[in-house]
Amino acid sequence: MIIYLIRHGETDWNLQGRLQGREDIPLNKTGIQQAIACGKALQTIEFQSIQTSPLLRAKETAEIIASRQNCQLCVNSKLIERDFGLLSGLTPLERQTFEKEDRPDGMEPWDVLAKRALMAINELGETYPNDKIAIISHGAWINALLAVISRHEIGSGKTSLKNACISLLYREKSEWEIGFYNLTADEFSPSLYRNFIKFSSNTQN
């Protein structure tokens, strides 16, 4: 099984450095163009399913990508972004001020987020064991997954994911592996995908 992890396109809150969390912020003009470019880059990959977070910025990105595919688009609540609690909507400066107050922030614990993300791909792995699917989600969600699979070599606290970036996961002997991560549409190419598939097939043989 192969999973393409795609972060949503840019929003105005991304530009302002605000934590979005569960806030339902739409894509801005740049984000729409990023999603269009991502959809074009992936149009030769025939997905059996496109799974999206229920939040608007992810759904808009997913719909644009799905417009170049011939498969079902499914909203999956397990793909929703981390709940940042009282930090949601705050700028970096506002977060610094909040942290000085030393009070509970109500944020979803990282281990709960990571467990939820891993559970989501394991469930999808059971449903689509020999297929290629796309997951459109969020920065903290994807980074938590990358951290777990890489044993914290990349991901949370280490990787700054670009908007509309593409990462690839695959299953090797019942274990998840990372093929590549954090590529923009310009950095990704179908030849990279074909070379990966060739390498993966040789590894399995």
Task: Show which residues are catalytic.
Answer: 8, 81
Measured distance CA(194)–CA(162) in Å, rounded: 23
Q: Distance between alpha carbon 46 and the CA centroid of its chain, in Å?
A: 18
Distances (CA, A) of 48 to 51, 59, 71, 73, 111: 10, 17, 6, 9, 30
Helix or strand or coil: residue 77? Answer: helix
Task: Print burial letters for 41-54: b (CB count within 10 Å at least 16), e (below 16).
Answer: bbeebebbbbbbbe
Side-chain half-sphere CA neighbours of 91 within 13 A: 5
The 10 Å CB-count burial string (b at 16+, else e) for 93-114 is eebeeeeeeeeeeebbeeeebb
How large is the C-alpha radius of gyration of the chain? 17
